[in-house]
Amino acid sequence: MAESVEVRDEDGNLLQTKKYDGKYYVSHFIGNVKDHLAAIDDMAVRDDDTFIMSYPKSVTYGSWFDHIQAWDKTKKEYKGDNIMYLIYEDMKKDLRSHVGEIAPFLGANTETDFLDKVTDKCTFRNMVSEATKTFTPDDQWKEVTSTKTLPIYRKGEIGDWKNHFTVAQNEYFNKVYEEKMANNSFHFRFE
């Protein structure tokens, strides 16, 4: 059984880690920032909130770009074997292959039947269904979301940002993205 453990790096940044069979693992799961920003539409937004203000500090701990750059640095410099980098869009495209990579990383069962069951449980549809069964909205979420529901699950689609960004916003974002991500080794799919 895995348990969540909070660990901070040398700069004080929070790392979500899991302890599995006595060993600590960091599974860093990231996704493209455009779809991340599109999720903001389901958040309760004040009249004075604007697009330009949303992405410089678009993750819990600050800028999405700073967050990704810090993990890219870790990816390039850290030589340990207990960090696995996962990109949402890659998993969405081929979930079964990624489950097949995660199992040996965790030292878990790698038999085909087991991996198939895990893959089925990890589909977006099944995760939303399971979360709906176990989630009880409390006052915190009622204040945060316009739908009064658990906000982390939206459509699960790659490219939904196109339904939310204007052409001008997309052009501006692409310019900033190219500047800030020029030397980054993570590659994100936007479609």
Answer whether residue 55 is part of any domain: yes
Answer whether residue 148 is part of any domain: no
- Rounded distance, CA 52 to CA 60, Å? 17
- Rounded distance, CA 162 to CA 54, Å? 16
Answer whether residue 136 is part of any domain: no
Note down the domain range covering 39.
1-43
| Each residue's pLDDT expressed in tens, for the chain with a length of 191 residues | 555 556 566 666 655 566 666 666 665 556 666 766 666 555 544 433 434 444 545 555 567 788 888 888 888 888 878 888 888 889 999 999 999 999 999 889 999 999 999 999 999 888 878 776 666 655 555 555 566 555 566 788 888 888 888 888 888 888 888 988 999 998 888 88
- Rounded distance, CA 26 to CA 19, Å? 9
Answer whether residue 174 is part of any domain: yes
Length of the chain: 191
What pTM was computed for the model?
0.63
